[in-house]
Structure 1
Amino acid sequence: MKKKRRWTPISALALIILLTVSIATGCGQQSGGQDAKPLIKIGYINWQEDVAVTYLWQEILQEKGYQVELLSVDAAPLFVGLNKGDLDLFLDSWLPITQQAYWEKYKDKLDDYGSWYTGEAKIGLAVPTYVNLDSITQLNDQKANFGGQIIGIDPGAGIMKSADKAQKDYALNYDIVQGSEAAMLAALDKAYKEKKPIVITAWSPHWMFSKYDLKYLTDPKKDFGSSEGLHVLANKDFTLKQPAVAAMLKKFKLNDQQIGTLEDLINQGLSPQDAAKKWISTNQTVVNSWLK
């Protein structure tokens, strides 16, 4: 008959130590996991106001301990990424008109935190004020002056779809030149310095309206729609997992002067990161109102 093994005082003590260490280690790992803040992925389009507010929030969130990754893409892949959860946030969705098609397609997987811009957001075709032209309906009469071109931006942008619609509805004998915001602004700057006619796809808010004397062409057919909001969109899973960040972004508001000064810092040559830091340092009270 086998004898039962007895626990000696040393064995019991060793067991207690082992259990204590295991529990402490496990609790430490769990606590660390809870305290560690996750990576936040923000998609943005290379538009002035979008770059400005995206880097602004990267700086704010990093100061709060979050890791933030930014990805510059066109509108179509941005919405696909947001829908799939490959991206968490997009801070500059023009709704309810310009990006309506994307919103309708993907809204079941997205949350709308509301518009951050308190001014009048709009899009359209614009010309320098020295150009004797007031309406889109007059463009065909001055085709030669403009070289038969409307200078646009990236092809995935909602404003380009509106421009295509206007081209058909107004029977414009113009080519809509695809490119980027930077290319459009370079063409505008060159034409403006030489006082030459140019027609561009334009939107507000944008610092170009403070640097250049521009005017929107009237749009009787309303192909460019009415005023809009600049909305923060999030993947629904992100909202559920990060309610604190969602709450901050829902309080985010900027007026014309505030977004204008932020954009202007970048326009003066500061990097978007340095512009964000400088703007925050002089607008800390505004930022704090979003973080309460």
Structure 2
Amino acid sequence: MNLIALKQRTKTVLSLTALTGVVMLSACGAEEGSGEEGTSDSEEKPTITLGEVPYDQALPLLAIIESIAEELGYPTEIMEGDVGVMYTGIARGDVDVYADMWLPTLHASYLDQYEDSIELLGTLYENADTGWAVPEYMEDINSIEDLKGNEDMFDYEVVGIEPGAGMMPVSEEVIEEYDLDLELVSASTEAMLAEVSRLTANEEPVVFLAWRPHSMFQLFDIKMLDDPNDIWEKDDVVTGVGADFEEKAPDLHGFLEDFEISIEDVEEMMVSMEDEELDDLADEWIEDNREDVDEWLES
């Protein structure tokens, strides 16, 4: 799911196939040279480019940060791309803020390439689960080890997500480490969830990539598989910014150093996104947590 229309903004879309291919969509509102008199505070501050990946758990965080940035007077724009594009974008200065870095394991290979150009700020939430899941009705499948010898039940497939996601190479490692006769099938996250929905509706077997926070745990009765070999590790989700971001936006930098949110709050917002505007949900969360937000803004 792409980010639901937020407040008036410029939206920048970065091509996944060519890092230099950037499509600019026109901003809602007055353009430069429109003849309007006066200059607002937001126009005097630099535009903040926020990175958006195609994973729903990142969207509530993005919406909250965008709302706070605009509260501080910064115009915002969105740059879309997969995880690799975000790391490259920050290193090149095309992206200012990317608030969905899974560390120290899932995104380790990306950070290793660009760590000199990226500043890690606050931890948004800790101990996020990643791994494989099956429906609860599969009572005899509780561990990745239980898949061995039962691959035919799943048509010899693990339903995966976008090939650029950090979970995909880890999943290939899982298949090799456990010596499983399974093929990892890449697809969009939406396609994976649609397949899970189709198969679970008839209580058919399916094994697929799962992580928290995600609305799949509210939508489906599923369970994470145990990982006796400890290949999957719990990650913290961290905000990353460009090396010069503190100079560019010191007050927003200070907020991002302290900004945190619970996994439960993220999942609640993800479920509500189906029926409510995301910008409204972000503003509601800010209002409900105003005391903390004000402390973070003063830091």
Which band: TM-score by shorter chain? 0.7 to 0.9
Which deviates further from its counterpart, 242-251 or 131-140? 131-140
Aligned to 1:161: 169
What SS does the aligned partner of 1:141 have? coil
- Find the aligned partners of 1:264 and 1:285 in 2 and give their Cα distance: 25
Aligned to 2:102: 94
Q: Deviations over 1:142-177 (max 9, x none)?
A: 222211111111111111110011111122211111
Task: Give unmatched runs, 5+ long, in structure 1.
Answer: 1-30
Instruction: Work out the percentage of aligned pairs sharing the same amino acid.
Output: 29
Q: Alpha carbons of 1:32 and 1:129: their partners in 2 closer, same or farther (altered >3 Å)?
A: closer
Contact 2:41 2:73 in 1 (8 A): no
Post-superposition offset of 1:51: 1.4
- After superposition, where does 1:18-57 map in structure 2 within 5 Å? 36-57=44-65
Post-superposition offset of 1:274: 3.5
Post-superposition offset of 1:33: 9.2
- In terms of fraction of residues, the more helix-rich structure is 1
Aligned to 1:12: none
Contact 1:111 1:239 in 2 (8 A): no
Task: Give unmatched runs, 5+ long, in structure 2.
Answer: 1-38
Whether 2:250 is the aligned partner of 1:243: answer yes
Aligned to 2:297: 291
Equivalent pairs counted in the alignment come to 259
Which amino acid letter does the alignment assign opposite residue 200 of structure 1? F
Whether 2:164 is the aligned partner of 1:122: answer no
Which amino acid letter does the alignment assign opposite residue 228 of structure 1? D
Whether 2:243 is the aligned partner of 1:205: answer no
- Among 267, 271, 276, the alignment partner of 2:282 is 276
Post-superposition offset of 1:287: 3.2
Which amino acid letter does the alignment assign opposite residue 246 of structure 1? H
User: TM-score, with normalisation over the residues of structure 2?
Assistant: 0.81
What SS does the aligned partner of 2:149 have? helix
- Find the aligned partners of 1:291 and 1:104 in 2 and give their Cα distance: 30
Contact 2:128 2:235 in 1 (8 A): yes
- Find the aligned partners of 1:33 and 1:130 in 2 and give their Cα distance: 57
What RMSD over aligned residues (CA atoms) do the two structures have, in Å?
A: 2.1
- Find the aligned partners of 2:204 and 2:47 in 1 and give their Cα distance: 48
- After superposition, where does 1:179-258 map in structure 2 within 5 Å? 179-224=187-232, 226-258=233-265
Query: Any runs of at least 4 consecutive aligned residues in structure 1 with deviations exceeding 4 A, and if so which?
Result: 31-35
Aligned to 2:183: 175
Which amino acid letter does the alignment assign opposite residue 276 of structure 1? A
Whether 2:67 is the aligned partner of 1:59: answer yes
- Find the aligned partners of 1:281 and 1:52 in 2 and give their Cα distance: 14
Whether 2:120 is the aligned partner of 1:112: answer yes
Q: Alpha carbons of 1:38 and 1:135: their partners in 2 closer, same or farther (altered >3 Å)?
A: same
Contact 1:251 1:290 in 2 (8 A): yes
Aligned to 1:23: none
Post-superposition offset of 1:223: 2.0
What SS does the aligned partner of 1:69 have? strand
Post-superposition offset of 1:44: 2.1
Post-superposition offset of 1:32: 8.4
Post-superposition offset of 1:249: 0.6
